[in-house]
């Protein structure tokens, strides 16, 4: 396993350490990827109190995540944010 981790620099360097702290990792992932037209309320509620919220959003924007709730924002909200930037 250690060999595998050295092949993945993000994990080795702790860059994705925010994912270990993220509250979504401790909850139902289905809430963060609702069906089209489904409610995002529960996922966003979890994000509001998450210490990793800013890092999560930064990751989603940098990696052009197109699905799910990331950093408390939906796909549409992230697109809108990117257009304003």
Annotated binding site for [4Fe-4S] cluster: 24, 47, 50, 56
3-state secondary structure the chain: CHHHHHHCHHHHCCCCHHHHHCHHHHCCHHHHCCCCCCCCHHHHHHHHCCCCHHHHHHHHHHCCCCCCCECCECHHHHHHHHHHC
Residue numbering of the annotated binding site: 24, 47, 50, 56
């Amino acid at each position: 396993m250690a060999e595998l981790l050295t092949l993945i620099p993000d994990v080795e360097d702790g860059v994705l350490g925010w994912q270990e702290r993220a509250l979504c990792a401790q909850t139902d992932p289905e809430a963060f990827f609702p069906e089209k037209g489904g409610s995002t309320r529960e996922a966003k509620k979890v994000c509001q109190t998450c210490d990793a919220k800013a890092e999560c959003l930064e990751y989603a924007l940098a990696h052009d995540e197109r699905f799910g709730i990331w950093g408390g924002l939906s796909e549409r909200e992230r697109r809108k944010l990117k257009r304003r930037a």
